[in-house]
C-alpha cells in the first residue's frame, strides 16, 4: 500500500478529527492492541531521546528497544519525511510557550 493511499489518507483524517487527548487515546486504543500502542509510544520516546542526544545504550535500557530499532528510528529521524522532527519541534514550541505563560 502506498503511503498516500486512500486508506492511509482516511486514517490520517480520522486521527485529525479527534478533538481531545481523551478522544485520540480512545481511538488509538480501539485501533491498536495495547502492545502495539506501547510499541508506538516507545518509538516516539526513542525519537525524542535521540533528539536529546541520549546514547543508544541508555535508550535501550530505558525503553527495552533493540539497537536495530533505535538505529532505524534514528535513520527516519534524520532522513525520513520530516514527520518526527516537525512534531518534536512543534511540541517543544508548545512546551516553551506554556512555560513562558506560567512564569509571566
First to last CA, the chain: 49
According to the model, what pLDDT value does residue 3 have? 63
59 and 93 co-located in one domain: yes
Mean pLDDT of 33-40: 97
51 and 70 co-located in one domain: yes
21 and 54 co-located in one domain: no
25 and 56 co-located in one domain: no
Q: What is the pLDDT of the chain when averaged over all its residues?
A: 93
Q: Grid coordinates 518526527 are at which residue?
A: 84
50 and 85 co-located in one domain: yes
Q: What is the number of structural domains in the chain?
A: 2
According to the model, what pLDDT value does residue 21 have? 95
The Cα-based distances of 93 to 3, 74, 79, 87, 88 in angstroms read 28, 22, 22, 10, 9
Mean pLDDT of 30-56: 97
The Cα-based distances of 38 to 29, 47, 73, 97, 98 in angstroms read 10, 14, 15, 28, 27
Full residue range of the structural domain in which residue 10 is found: 1-31
39 and 62 co-located in one domain: yes
24 and 56 co-located in one domain: no
Amino acid at each position: 500500500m502506498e503511503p498516500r493511499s486512500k486508506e492511509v489518507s482516511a486514517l490520517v483524517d480520522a486521527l485529525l478529527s479527534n478533538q481531545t487527548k481523551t478522544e485520540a487515546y480512545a481511538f488509538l486504543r480501539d485501533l491498536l492492541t495495547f502492545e502495539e500502542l506501547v510499541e508506538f509510544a516507545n518509538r516516539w520516546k526513542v525519537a525524542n531521546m535521540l533528539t536529546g542526544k541520549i546514547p543508544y545504550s541508555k535508550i535501550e535500557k530505558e525503553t527495552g528497544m533493540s539497537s536495530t530499532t533505535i538505529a532505524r528510528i534514528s535513520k527516519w529521524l534524520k532522513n525520513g519525511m520530516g514527520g518526527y522532527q516537525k512534531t518534536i519541534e512543534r511540541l517543544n514550541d508548545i512546551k516553551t510557550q506554556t512555560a513562558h505563560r506560567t512564569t509571566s
